[in-house]
Structure 1
Amino acid sequence: MTIADISRKFDISQDTLRYYERIGLIPRVMRNKGRIREYTEEDCMWVEFILCMRNAGLPIEALMEYVKLFQQGDETIEARKELLNEQRMKLLARMEVMKNTLERLDYKIASYEQTVVEKEKSLKRPMK
């Protein structure tokens, strides 16, 4: 698959893909004789993983550390697991903040809706 194919598949810009490759978040993508990137299925799995983690709010630095550890081999399994657990705890904390924010927004919206209902009741006049 070309970079354009991957860009469309994952709805991510080609510049972002190049950036992720340049900083080591995804392994060096092989190139054909024309120097065009040719993404493999494994490359696609890395892109998908990185996007999933970014959507969860993981910072680039944490992902770079994870990839670095991964490339060092199985002796880093515990370190990778610890890094993911730390990020999981941070995500849970952010989710709790978001849950509280959502509840507050729901309350405010309900208050506005109630105000509108009361205003509409006061505007109703008997028809003659």
Structure 2
Amino acid sequence: DNRIVYGGGAAEISCSLAVAEESDKIEGIEQYAFRAFADALESIPMALAENSGLSSIGTVTDLKAKQIQQSNPKLGVDCLAVGTNDMEEQKVMETLLSKKAQISLATQVVRMILKIDDVRVPES
């Protein structure tokens, strides 16, 4: 599979928006799980922004708004501050296979942690 997704957190923001939109269609407690997953997807672009010296919350909020307004899922974190957030123009891409593996692995780790129901602290 040689398909690609745009990097710079663009794919994660786009997925976050899609999951959040679906969560509005769900009733009951499952809606909260969908919203939490959508929020978790935003951690990658937030980390990219913060590590680039940008305001993480401000940058991600701005990108979400731009992706919605412009219907452009290619907008991501401009780490190099070249003035564009279009990851296609900046040639920032990742393989779909690796992106799916990253999200799947992170989800599996969280599920394993949530299964823990007891923590033992050794006595000194």
- Report the TM-score, using the length of structure 2 for normalisation: 0.30
Give the structure with the larger strand fraction: 2
Q: TM-score normalized by structure 1?
A: 0.30
Q: Find the structure with the greater CA-based Rg.
A: 1
**Higher helix residue share:** 1
